[in-house]
Amino acid sequence: MRVDFTLPYRHDGTMKTVLVISSFVASSRVGATASAFCLRRLGVEAVVLPTTLMGRHPGWGPPGGGATQVEQLEDMWQAIRKQGLRFDAVFSGYMGHMDHVALTARIIREVKEENSNAIILVDPVMGDDGALYIPEDRAQAIRTDLLPLADILTPNVWELSYLTVTKANTATALAQSCKAWNADVLITSVPVENEIGALLVTSQDGFLVQHKKFEKVPHGGGDALAATYLAHNLLGLSPRKALEFSVASIFEVMSAAKKLDAGELPLVRKQGALVSAPPLKSKKIDL
């Protein structure tokens, strides 16, 4: 079956390239397996440095494999650099080892030295549902070493509360809690009465997109949303429009997962949603 490549807006036609530093999980649509697919489906090249090599998501049971040796990641990065690639963005996701944080910070600086306009997106993957699922020292290293380098941050509500040491539970309060950061912040899993939403906070504005809440959805939605949002940014959409298109796409994918009773995000089956889902309307939040 032929799948036509379309985009819901015009862009300048140049190929953008993103360096993705995150987990690789062979049979689960999480980490770089999800984010790289979303980037590529939207016409953005993705080069992956895998912080893990696992067979499946740990939520299914023993995942097989484990964290990638930092020496191996370093070796891979040096080989990538010798290719002379110019990166338009870095997507920092799951850090499988404490040493990955320092290496990622150094790589980001090296990318910025070669392209000062490169966008740095840091997804501080560290916890949810009230608890960290990585060691405390690794979470603190992400906070101190990676967050200050970010142009875009994509925490979930619990990660935001951990990073800001606040307990905000409304969209306005959440927006206020991240104003001190010198970055745009896209917050996922924001409770909005009986629905759920994504909140984007920039230096000047706050925008909220909300939709029906699912009782249970597969892992990987945050990875997919962050990558889709980044792709729309690179292709020229304003932050508000990028939010509206990306949330609509991932909501459609998650709706399909519920309908199909799929344990994994059906990104391949529903890939058309990444480029053609009608945008969800956002509303402005007072800062």
Q: Are 226 and 271 in contact (CB under 8 A)?
A: no
The rounded distance, in Å, linking the Cα atoms of 152 and 229 is 10
Instruction: Return the amino acid letter for 229.
Output: Y
The rounded distance, in Å, linking the Cα atoms of 68 and 50 is 7
pTM of the model: 0.95
- The domain segmentation of the chain, as residue ranges, is 16-285
Confidence at residue 198, expressed as pLDDT on a 0 to 100 scale? 95
Confidence at residue 215, expressed as pLDDT on a 0 to 100 scale? 82
Give me the tens of pLDDT residue by residue for the chain, a chain 287 residues long.
344 456 667 677 788 999 999 999 999 999 999 999 999 999 999 999 999 999 999 989 999 999 999 999 999 999 999 999 999 999 999 999 999 999 999 999 999 999 999 999 999 999 988 889 999 999 999 999 999 999 999 999 999 999 998 888 788 889 888 887 899 999 998 988 889 999 999 988 999 999 988 888 889 999 999 999 999 999 999 999 999 999 999 999 999 998 888 899 999 999 999 999 999 999 999 87
Q: Are 23 and 35 in contact (CB under 8 A)?
A: no
Confidence at residue 2, expressed as pLDDT on a 0 to 100 scale? 42
Q: What is the dotted CATH code of the domain comprising 16-285? A: 3.40.1190.20
What are the CA-CA distances from residue 151 to residues 20, 35, 121, 277 (Å)? 15, 18, 6, 26
The b-or-e profile of 14-37 (16+ CB within 10 A means b, else e) is eebbbbbbbbbbeebbbbbbbbbb
